[in-house]
Structure 1
Amino acid sequence: MLLLGIDLGTSSIKVSVVDAQTQQCLASVSYPETEREILTRQPGWAEQDPRQWWLDARQAILNAHATQRYNPQDIGAIGIAYQMHGLVVVDKEHHPLRDAIIWCDSRAVPYGEAAQQGIGAEYCQRHLLNSPGNFTAAKLAWVKEHEPDTYARIDRIMLPGDFLALQLTGESTTSISALSEGIFWDFERHALSEEVFGFFGFDKSLIPPVHDVFAPHGYVRETVAEELGLRAGIPVTYKAGDQPNNALSLNVLRPGEVAATAGTSGVIYAVTDQLFVDAQSRVNPFAHVNHTREQQRLGVLLCINGTGSMNRWARQTVARELTYPEANERAAAIAPGSEGLLCLPFGNGVERMLANQPVGAHFHGLDLNQHGPAHMLRASQEGVAFAFRYGLDLMREGGLHPTVVKAGYTNMFLSDVFTQAFVNSTGLAVELHQTDGSVGAALGAGIGAGVYATPAEAFHHMQPLRTIRPDDHQTAAYEAGYQRWKELLLRHLHPPAAPALLPDSVAR
C-alpha cells in the first residue's frame, strides 16, 4: 500500500508518495518551482488565493505520477499538512468568498488584544492557554467588522488544509488540534470556547464537524479521482498544521521531545504534558496531533516569521546571481560574528515572541570599507540563529529545558553556517533527519488509516543522518555575538525616551 502526503506551504505545495511497509519515499515533487506570491494589498497584510493552492496541489500530484516510480492506483490513504493560523471562508457551494488571510498577516492584532481584555487575561491563560492574539479567531473578527456582506455569506470557516481536503472529498471537517491553533478551543472544558464565540459574536455553526487528527476526513470524489489518476473513495485520514506535522515527521510525540524547522518561518516545537502558559503569549501551546482529553499532549510553539524570508531577501538583494548553496559557501568564508555586522531578521510581519511589536528587519554596524555581500549573507543567517536563541530562552524561563533538537535536513538546515550558529548559540545538539512535511503527512495518513498499530511503528526505520553538537572552540564567539545582538534588539523593543527640547532662551 502507498501513502500520499500533501504539504501546503506558503511558497509551494510539496507532495510525497511513501511505501507504507518500508516507510521509504518513492517520489517527492514541489510545485510551483518558483515561490508562490504573497499578496500584500496594505502594509501588514498577507493573503493567498485558496483556489491557487488547489491548482498547485493537483499539478504537484500529477507531476509526482509523471516520475513513474509507483503505480498511482496503489495509493490507499492521503494525509495533509498545511500552513497554520490561516483563515479560509466558503459559501454553501464550497466556493471561497475572499482570499485567505494567512499566518503572517498582522491586521487582526487589535481584535485579539480587545478579546483578551474583554474576556480577561486570567481566563484566556487558564482556558485557551493563549491570548486570542493574531490567530484565526481574531482574523475572522476582522472580516466580520470590515466585510459584513462577506461574513453574512459564510457557511464554513476553515484552515488552509481543510480547504484542500474539501476539494478532494467535498466534505468539511476540523479537529481539536486545528481549533486550538485558531484559539477556538477551551482546554479546561474540552469544548468550543463559549467566551470566544460570545465575545466576537460568532455562530458555532460556522465550525465544521470535529474529527480526530488521525481519522477519516472524507473520501476522494469520483470526478477528482479521474482528474488525478487515483482510485475513487481513497480516504483522507490525517490533517494537521505544518508544525505539529513537522514534529510528527521527526517522531516527536512524547513530553520533552523537541522539533525545529527553518523554512519561510522558523519554529521550535516542544512537546509537554503540562498546561504550559506564557503570560505574554510570546510562545504558544496548541493541542498536538496525539492530544486527547485522557492523555494531554501539547506542542509549545515558538515562531519566528522572518527566517527563510530573511535568508531569501539577503540572497536576492546582494547575491542574486548565486544559488543558495553558492551563497552559503560565500557566507562560510566569513568568520563567526560577521566581523561585527548584526542583523535583526524581523521583517515578515509582527513577531509574537516580541509581543507583536513591529521591529522590522535591520542591519547594524555596516562598515562600507569592510563589509560586503558575504558578510550580509552570514549576518542574516546568524541573526536568524540568534532569534532562535532568544525564543528558546523564553521557553526555558517557562520551565522547558530541551537538550536535543530534531530537524529535517532541508531549508536553512542545509546551511552549515546556520546550523553551526544555531547549535553554538543555543547550546543544543541538533539531529538532522531525511524527512519533510509531505513525508510526515503521508505517514500520518498511514496512522489514521490503521496501517500502523501505533505512531511509533510508523517510524520504525528512522535514523538521523548526522548529529551536530556545540563546539567548545566556537561557543564563546557565538555567545559574545548573541549578547551584542540581544542588546541591539532590546534597544529596538525599548527605545530610550527622546530628550526634552531646550527652552528657547537656553537654546540661544
Structure 2
Amino acid sequence: MYLLGIDIGTSSIKVSAVDIHTQKSVATAQYPDDEAEIKSVQSGWAEQSPEDWWSNTQKAISKLNATGLFDPEQIRAIGIAYQMHGLVVVDKNQNILRDSIIWCDSRAVAIGEKAFDEIGNELCLSHLLNSPGNFTASKLAWVKNNEQEIYKKIDKVMLPGDFIAMKLTGKVTTSISALSEGIFWDFKEDEVSEAVLDYYGIDSRLIPDLYPLFSEHGNLKDDIAAQLGLKKGIPVAYKSGDQPNNALSLNVLKPGEVAATAGTSGVIYGVSDELTYDLQSRVNTFAHVTYSKENKYTGVLLCINGTGSMYRWAKNNFAPQIPYSELNVSAASAPIGSRGIKVLPFGNGAERMLGNKYTGAQFLGIDLNIHTQADIFRAVQEGIAFSFRYGLDIMRENGMEPKVIRAGKANLFLSTVFTQTFVDVTGVPVELYENDGSVGAALGAGIGSGIFENAEAAFKNHEMIKRVEPKNIAEYEPIYQDWKKILIKAL
C-alpha cells in the first residue's frame, strides 16, 4: 500500500508515492520541468494561476503513475503541502475569481502596517503573535479595497493547498495552522480573530470549516479518481504549509528542534512550546503541525525571499547554459570571501526580517581585472548564507538557540560551499537528510488517516546522511560583519 504526497511549490508541482511499510518514496514526478511563471504586472506584485496549479498537479500525478513503479489503485490517502500565505478566492460554485496573490507579493505591506498600528501593536503581538503584515488577511483586504466587484462574489477564502484539496474532494476546509499563517487566528482566545475580521470588515462566513490538520478533509470524488487513475473515496488526510511540512518531513516536531530549507525562499524554522513573538515581527510565529489546544507547539519562522531565487537569477543571467552542479564546483574553486565581492540577495519582494523593506539585490566590490565567474557564484552563495545568519541572530534575540539544524540535502544544500558557509557563519552544525516536501506530505496523510499511530511511527526509518561541523568560524566572522554593515547602510 502507498500514500500520495503533493507539494504545491512556486516553481513546480512535485508528487511522490510512498510505501507505507518502508516509509520511503518509490516514485516521484514533477510538472512542469522548467520553472513555473510568476506574473508580476507591477513591481513588488507576484501572482500565479490556481488553475495552473491544478492542471500541473494532474499532469504530475499522470507522470507519476506512468513510471510503473507502483499500483496507483493501492494509494490509501493523499497529503498536500503548499506555498504559504497565498490568497485564493472562489465563488459559491467553487470557481476561481482571480489569480492567487502569492507569498512574495508586497502590495499589502502598507495595509498590514496600518492594521498593526490601528488594531494595536500589543494586541496583535499577544493574540496573533505577528503583525498582520503582508499575510493572507491583508492580501484579502487589498482585494476588498481595490477589486470590490470580485470581493462581492467571494464565497470562501483559501490557501493554495486548500484549493487543491477542494479540486480533489469538492470540500473546502481549513486548520488552525493554516489560519495562523494567514493571520486569521487568535492564539489567546483559541478562535478565529474577531479583531482582524472586524478591522478589515471581513465576513466570518468567508472562512472555511475548521478541521484538525491531521484528519480527513474530504474524499476523492469519483470523476477525479477515474481521471487520475486512483481509488475513489480515498481521503485527503493532511494539509500543511510548506515550511511546517518541511519540519515534519525532517522529524522536527518537539520544542527546541530546528529545520532549515534553501529553495526559492530560505527558511529557518524552530519549534517552541511558548506563544512567542518578535516585537518588530521580523520573524513570525505560526501554529506548528503538532499544535493543539492542549500542546501549543508553535513554529518560529524566519523567511528570506531572495535565496534560491537569487541563485537562479545569477545563473540565468551569467551562466544560463551551465548546470547548477557545475556552478557549485566552480564556486568551490574561489577563496573564502570571494576576493572581496559582497552580495545582498534581497531582490524578491519586501523582506519581513528587514522590517518589510525592499533593498533590491546588490553586487558590490567587483573588480573587472581580477574577479571571475567562480568569485561571483561563491559570493552569491556566501551572501545568501550571510542573510541566514542575520535572520538567525534575530531568532536568537527571541530565545531560539539551536544546537543543531536539520536540512534536506536539496537545492542550495547540495552545494558544499553554501552548506559549509552556512555552518561556519551561523556556528551551528547541520544534519543533512534525504528530504522532500511531497514525501513529508504523504507521510502526513498516513498520520491523518490513522495508518500511522503518530508522527513518531511515521518517521521511524528516518536516517541522517551527513553531519557538517563548523571549521572556518574565525575566518568568516569579519567578512560577515563587513557584509552586515553594507546591509544596514542599504536599509
TM-score when scaled to structure 1? 0.96
Report the secondary structure of 1:383's partner residue: helix
| C-alpha distance in 2 between matches for 1:149 and 1:37 | 26
Tell me how far 1:125 sits from its aligned partner: 0.7
Report the secondary structure of 2:366's partner residue: coil
Tell me how far 1:232 sits from its aligned partner: 0.6
Q: Deviation per CA, 1:394-432, whole angstroms, max 9, x where unpaired? A: 010111100100011111000111001100000011111
Tell me how far 1:197 sits from its aligned partner: 0.3
Q: Deviation per CA, 1:241-261, whole angstroms, max 9, x where unpaired? A: 000000000000000000000
Q: Deviation per CA, 1:158-195, whole angstroms, max 9, x where unpaired? A: 00000000000000000000000000000000001111
Letter in 2 for 1:217: H
Q: Deviation per CA, 1:275-304, whole angstroms, max 9, x where unpaired? A: 111000000000000100111100000000
Larger Rg, first or second structure (1 or 2): 1
Q: Which residue of 2 aligns with 1:136?
A: 136
Letter in 2 for 1:115: A
Letter in 2 for 1:258: V
Q: Which residue of 1 aligns with 2:467?
A: 467
Q: Which residue of 1 aligns with 2:175?
A: 175
| C-alpha distance in 1 between matches for 2:321 and 2:193 | 51
Report the secondary structure of 2:361's partner residue: strand
Report the secondary structure of 1:465's partner residue: strand
Q: Which residue of 2 aligns with 1:376?
A: 376
Q: Which residue of 1 aligns with 2:421?
A: 421
Q: Deviation per CA, 1:367-404, whole angstroms, max 9, x where unpaired? A: 11111222111111100000000000001011110010
Tell me how far 1:57 sits from its aligned partner: 0.4
Letter in 2 for 1:283: V
Tell me how far 1:317 sits from its aligned partner: 1.1
1:261 correspondence with 2:244: no
> 5 Å matches for 1:244-259?
244-259=244-259
Q: Deviation per CA, 1:98-129, whole angstroms, max 9, x where unpaired? A: 00000000000011011111100000011000
Q: Which residue of 1 aligns with 2:288?
A: 288
1:96 correspondence with 2:105: no
Q: Which residue of 1 aligns with 2:405?
A: 405
| C-alpha distance in 1 between matches for 2:143 and 2:131 | 19
Q: Which residue of 2 aligns with 1:436?
A: 436
Tell me how far 1:455 sits from its aligned partner: 0.6
| C-alpha distance in 1 between matches for 2:287 and 2:124 | 15
Report the secondary structure of 1:303's partner residue: strand
Letter in 2 for 1:50: P
* RMSD (Å), alpha carbons: 0.6
Letter in 1 for 2:226: E
| C-alpha distance in 2 between matches for 1:61 and 1:319 | 32
Q: Which residue of 1 aligns with 2:481?
A: 483
| C-alpha distance in 2 between matches for 1:287 and 1:259 | 15
| C-alpha distance in 1 between matches for 2:9 and 2:123 | 33
Report the secondary structure of 1:480's partner residue: helix
> 5 Å matches for 1:145-294?
145-294=145-294
| C-alpha distance in 2 between matches for 1:396 and 1:308 | 24
| C-alpha distance in 1 between matches for 2:401 and 2:435 | 25
Moved over 3 A (4+): none
Report the secondary structure of 1:215's partner residue: coil
Report the secondary structure of 2:485's partner residue: helix
Letter in 1 for 2:416: D
Letter in 2 for 1:426: T
| C-alpha distance in 2 between matches for 1:183 and 1:278 | 15
Provide the aligned length of Structure 1 versus Structure 2: 491
Report the secondary structure of 1:56's partner residue: helix
| C-alpha distance in 2 between matches for 1:265 and 1:143 | 25
Letter in 1 for 2:418: F
Q: Which residue of 1 aligns with 2:36?
A: 36
Report the secondary structure of 2:464's partner residue: coil
Letter in 1 for 2:337: G
Letter in 2 for 1:32: P
Letter in 2 for 1:15: V
Report the secondary structure of 1:360's partner residue: coil
Letter in 1 for 2:84: M
Q: Which residue of 1 aligns with 2:357?
A: 357
Tell me how far 1:477 sits from its aligned partner: 1.7
Q: Which residue of 2 aligns with 1:322?
A: 322
Letter in 2 for 1:112: G
Letter in 1 for 2:484: K
Tell me how far 1:24 sits from its aligned partner: 1.3
Letter in 2 for 1:168: L
Q: Deviation per CA, 1:186-228, whole angstroms, max 9, x where unpaired? A: 0000001111000000000000100011000000000000110
Tell me how far 1:315 sits from its aligned partner: 1.0
| C-alpha distance in 2 between matches for 1:157 and 1:373 | 46
> 5 Å matches for 1:445-456?
445-456=445-456
| C-alpha distance in 2 between matches for 1:131 and 1:435 | 31
Q: Which residue of 2 aligns with 1:117?
A: 117
| C-alpha distance in 2 between matches for 1:481 and 1:30 | 39
Tell me how far 1:329 sits from its aligned partner: 0.9
Q: Which residue of 1 aligns with 2:396?
A: 396
Letter in 1 for 2:178: A
| C-alpha distance in 2 between matches for 1:214 and 1:492 | 43
Letter in 2 for 1:185: W
Q: Which residue of 2 aligns with 1:21?
A: 21
Q: Deviation per CA, 1:36-62, whole angstroms, max 9, x where unpaired? A: 010000000000000000000000001
| C-alpha distance in 1 between matches for 2:145 and 2:243 | 30
Letter in 2 for 1:487: K
Report the secondary structure of 1:285's partner residue: strand
Letter in 2 for 1:304: I
| C-alpha distance in 2 between matches for 1:22 and 1:210 | 32
Where in structure 1 are there 5+ consecutive unaligned residues?
494-508
> 5 Å matches for 1:2-13?
2-13=2-13
Percent same amino acid among aligned pairs?
59
Q: Which residue of 2 aligns with 1:498?
A: none
| C-alpha distance in 1 between matches for 2:464 and 2:317 | 34
| C-alpha distance in 2 between matches for 1:330 and 1:31 | 29
Tell me how far 1:316 sits from its aligned partner: 1.1
